Structure 1
Amino acid sequence: MTDVETAKKPDEAPRSNQLASQIMNSSTVMTVLAVVISLVVGAVLIAVTDSKVQATAGYFFARPTDMLAAIWDAVSGAYIALFNGAIYNTNRDSFLGGIKSITDTLHHATPLIAGGLGVALAFRAGLFNIGGRGQMLVAAGAAGWVGFSFHLPVWIHLPLAVIAGIAAGALWGGLVGYLKARTGAHEVILTIMLNYVAFYLISWMLRTPGLLQAPGTVNPESAPILPSAILPPIFGDRYNLHAGFILVILATVFVWWLLNRSNLGFKFRAVGENPNAARTAGINVKSMYIWAMLIAGGLMGIAGVSQVLGTITSGFSSGIDAGIGFDAITVALLGRSTPWGTFAAGVLFGAFKAGGYAMQAGEGIPIDIVLVVQSVIVLFIAAPPLVRSIFFIPKPGSRGSKRNTPNVSKEVAAK
């Protein structure tokens, strides 16, 4: 065996170690591991709060199997209920009845995906859009007003209401980009303040006759949306899933194309990576801020439209956003600010929401435990070193994960 072959042979193992390290440290694997850890944490909380587990803990040393059986019953029952409520209900007699669970998941995921896309797009341009609540409220107000004020054919009325909502959200988000570009104000402060402005503006309009308030009532609620402006159900009235989900799929494809295939998306990413370098390269950074927030606001507007035209058709109130504007930040973080990652994260959180209601109704599990699981997922997503330490995954670039090619070359050259 020659000296060169002897020098190269020990390099084969580190090369395989490097490949394994790259796979284990990929964003997809880290996200899956974060979800697994969160489910384990949820299982612990379910077991600790279960009354049967607490009762059997009193005589654990006398009959430990009773407590272990109670823990198994509590955790398995909760997660089976989560599956039945989010994926497929095995308690239903027919297949069509069973798949209602997955349609409920997609129904809950629709505004989360749209809102997550609005946050993710701003992230990619170096902006932190936490104004989803305000953008959703303004969009819902505009879409709702068009939805109950005009008697038009459905092929005119529905597109007009959708466009009005998206345009209102885009203008509200674009205002943030304009103020940041022209005055240098921080977008976080601007979006927080505009959230309050939008909330109190819509609340006032819902209390004022002739604006958004339903005629003949003193309640802060709008008139019912006319049937011609309601997003139609995809699979019939038996399911809650409506055409807003198709709109969200189109929005995801659009954001993917925008960020990865368009000149404007390239400028967004360049500004997000390094605005000074982008400015030196001739990119108008201020203009990119305006366009990014304009489009992000329009995506948030889709979330508001799906709420007011697809979820609540009897009239909406100032709580129409349902906290989705802030949940969208979590969805974007979990999706790594990528279009399809955000889509998958929105579906996951939609499953948690749909399954959480089933857990609460069927097993008496507090819905707060589902919220804790979601929060723990974000915690571990934001702290990859913590995930690596739990699963003993070597850090990228650590000893044994890289090839030591330069040293080998020097030794061979010396010989």
Structure 2
Amino acid sequence: MTVADTQSPPPSPTPMTDAPEVSRWREAMHRVVSGNAIISVLAVVAAVLVGSIMIAATDESVQKAAGYFFQRPGDTFAAIGSAVGGAYAALFRGAIYNFNADSFAVGIRPLTETLKFATPLIAAGLGVGLAFRAGLFNIGGQGQMLMAAAAAGYVATSWDLPFPLHMAAAIIAGILAGAIWAGIAGLLKARTGAHEVIVTIMLNHIAVYLLAWMLATQGVLQAPGSSNPKTAPMAETAVMPQILGPMYKLHLGFIFALIAVAITWWLLERSSLGFRFRAVGLNPAAARTAGISVGWMYFLVMVIAGALVGLAGVSQVLGTEPKGFSGGIDAGIGFDAITVALLGRSSPLGILGAGLLFGAFKTGGFTMQASQGVPIEIVLVVQSLIVLFIAAPPLVRAMFGLPQPGKPSRRQRRAAKKEVAA
């Protein structure tokens, strides 16, 4: 018998299954809290919290209870809870579902209104977000919407075609008008290097006054026999049908907006053209070195972005306002689309969610004002605060105690201190 035979084999190591699981979960959570998507969610939360403070500060019952706060502080807190809770309950009733309705069909009407208001925001947000991904700032949503509305309105009121050819012709005309109007900025950017922000802002002003001239001129857009700056009603053969019946105002434009989301996602994430857009947006010099025509990409992305914004203008004219429109048909959507694109992180699915959220704010804000007396301006302030917080990620991370990118976490700092002390 040898010495090796008398020695017992070394014990096998105990499998450590819990530690890798914990580390994987910890790593996953770290990726979540250090990513950019969480900033958008927390920006909305922070804006809603600040909005709650403003709601409480402007409520009369809270102001009265605050007058004797040190005698009965519970009354003040109860009034704050009632004011804030009632306001956001009204927001839910006005945007999602009205529990006070007599039937489900009536109760679900606020949701259809939210989807209707969200339709142009989604389409226009896609146009702005697509340009963002290519490194361009498309601030010309207003002008592109107005020109799309003018083209679609002209076809819808002047041409005589059967349905659905008339509707299709009006939609195509509006989309082409938006693409051409944005393409002007893209062409100037590609050929001369003109800054797209300045060009698109100037094009907005041109579009406003050009549409005003069209609405004041007989034979162009002004209703026949009228002196008011407004178009005639759209022909029935050109109007987008209501997809849930006459009881609701939700029209076919919402389906077109969803299709635009799917196409834009495929373009950015699955196509070679989208890859070139993203490459130019990340580093134009490197993209040019790799053989990508940066100028052509600038022009092409603005054309596509203008077409998407044009879809928003078309949905307004042929779906939301088919009885005729005036110079305010854009309703500020061209600028709200910038906020939607920022909140959605220029991602098609993110823009879809952001558009639905802002549609809910817009729809529910009217109910908040009517039932609770909350000023509608507070909803606008909440929307503005969302933009503010999105523009300042370090502020949001500091407010919620999230780790800053590129800096060690608290756990890592404590471990480093222990090592130094050892």
Deviations 1:183-236 (A, max 9, x none): 111101100000000000000110011111111111111111111111111101
Amino acid at match of 2:128: V
Amino acid at match of 2:125: G
After TM superposition, the structure 1 = structure 2 runs for residues 49-88 of structure 1, keeping only pairs within 5 Å, are 49-88=58-97
Structure-2 separation of matches of 1:390 and 1:210: 58
**Structure showing greater Rg:** 2
Structure-1 separation of matches of 2:408 and 2:164: 63
Structure-1 separation of matches of 2:302 and 2:38: 31
> Structure 1 pair 16/402, CA: closer, same or farther in 2 (3 Å)?
farther
Task: Give 1:33's match in structure 2, choosing from 7, 26, 42.
Answer: 42
Question: Deviation of residue 19 (structure 1)?
Answer: 3.3
- Amino-acid identity (%): 61
Amino acid at match of 1:197: I
> Structure 1 pair 12/374, CA: closer, same or farther in 2 (3 Å)?
same
Q: Aligned residue for 1:263?
A: 272
Amino acid at match of 1:253: A
The question of whether the paired residues in 2 share the 8 Å contact of 1:17 and 1:400 is answered with: no
Task: Give 2:202's match in structure 1, choosing from 186, 193, 198.
Answer: 193
Q: Aligned residue for 2:142?
A: 133
Question: Deviation of residue 129 (structure 1)?
Answer: 0.2
- Confirm or deny that 1:224 pairs with 2:233: yes
RMSD: 2.2
Q: Aligned residue for 2:245?
A: 236
Deviations 1:68-88 (A, max 9, x none): 221111111100000001111
Secondary structure of the corresponding residue to residue 112 of structure 2: helix
Q: Which TM-score applies when normalising by structure 2?
A: 0.91
Amino acid at match of 2:352: F
- Confirm or deny that 1:273 pairs with 2:282: yes
Secondary structure of the corresponding residue to residue 89 of structure 2: helix
Structure-2 separation of matches of 1:401 and 1:258: 41
Question: Deviation of residue 160 (structure 1)?
Answer: 0.4
Structure-1 separation of matches of 2:324 and 2:24: 62
Structure-1 separation of matches of 2:260 and 2:29: 35
Q: Aligned residue for 1:104?
A: 113
> Structure 1 pair 403/365, CA: closer, same or farther in 2 (3 Å)?
closer
Structure-1 separation of matches of 2:247 and 2:96: 17
Structure-1 separation of matches of 2:342 and 2:131: 12
Q: Aligned residue for 1:389?
A: 398
Secondary structure of the corresponding residue to residue 326 of structure 2: coil
Q: Aligned residue for 1:411?
A: none
> Structure 1 pair 249/62, CA: closer, same or farther in 2 (3 Å)?
same
The question of whether the paired residues in 1 share the 8 Å contact of 2:117 and 2:362 is answered with: yes
The question of whether the paired residues in 1 share the 8 Å contact of 2:97 and 2:109 is answered with: yes
Q: Aligned residue for 2:361?
A: 352
> Structure 1 pair 126/400, CA: closer, same or farther in 2 (3 Å)?
closer
Amino acid at match of 2:153: G
After TM superposition, the structure 1 = structure 2 runs for residues 6-405 of structure 1, keeping only pairs within 5 Å, are 17-400=26-409
Q: Aligned residue for 1:412?
A: none
Structure-1 separation of matches of 2:22 and 2:320: 56
Question: Deviation of residue 375 (structure 1)?
Answer: 1.2
Deviations 1:95-128 (A, max 9, x none): 1111111111110000000000000000111110
Structure-2 separation of matches of 1:234 and 1:24: 40
Question: Deviation of residue 63 (structure 1)?
Answer: 1.8
Q: After superposing the two structures, state which structure 1 stretch, 29-38 or 315-324, moved more.
A: 29-38
The question of whether the paired residues in 2 share the 8 Å contact of 1:18 and 1:400 is answered with: no
Gap regions ≥5 residues in structure 2: 1-9, 417-422
Moved runs in structure 1, 4+ residues, more than 6 A? Answer: 9-15, 401-404
Gap regions ≥5 residues in structure 1: 408-415
